[in-house]
Structure 1
Amino acid sequence: MEKLCPRFEKAMGLISTRWVGLILFDLLKGTKRFSEMEADLPISGRLLSDRLKMLEKEGIVKRNIYSEFPVRIEYSLSDKGNELEPVIKAIQFWADEHIPPEETDDTDEQRV
């Protein structure tokens, strides 16, 4: 059996981390505040914060802090993150073609 490339394996692990795909899909629409993302996604604030920190550490998400009162924090995709757009759209296309609607449970996850 051929061994997977470690970089490919890491990329797949990162993208397949629970909720990361939906977070990336949401950020493809543009810059968002944390509260907007929390409202858009069926995920707890604590878990969203954890995933955003992970994606920021990987250089996929940028966190911009504005010195206002109250402080404004916005999240956006970095150049590295934006390069995932064709990958995410290809997965969406594949899902639309091959995953029957009855196999999804819209009560737990948002359709992307």
Structure 2
Amino acid sequence: MSDDLAGRLVAVLDLDGVRDKAGLMDRAARALALPDWFGRNWDALADSLADPSVWPQEAAERGLLLVVRGWRAFAEGRPEEWRTAEDVFAEAADRTPALAVALILGGSS
């Protein structure tokens, strides 16, 4: 692991079994401990990922590594939504140096 990722809080976004955008948003809200007012739409996810003030305190202090696993079935079943999710992850990571997103290519276990 490179030094710029060392020490970050790791949050796992497990998409195993997720079949739609609503499921992805629910899992993201849980994985990131997002506030109740999280809007569960793409713009709200992008804003939440790019705003360390809504992350868990430890992540806001140390940085956040979001590990996305179990995503392939969602990507195959909802390719347009998955492209949007990828764009959201990439844009948020570009906007926020404290955030890194990793897509796990192996199984979800």
Q: State TM-score, norm by structure 1.
A: 0.27
Higher helix share: 1
Q: Whose Rg is larger?
A: 1
Larger RCO, structure (CA 8 Å, separation 6 or more): 2
TM-score for the superposition, normalised by structure 2: 0.28
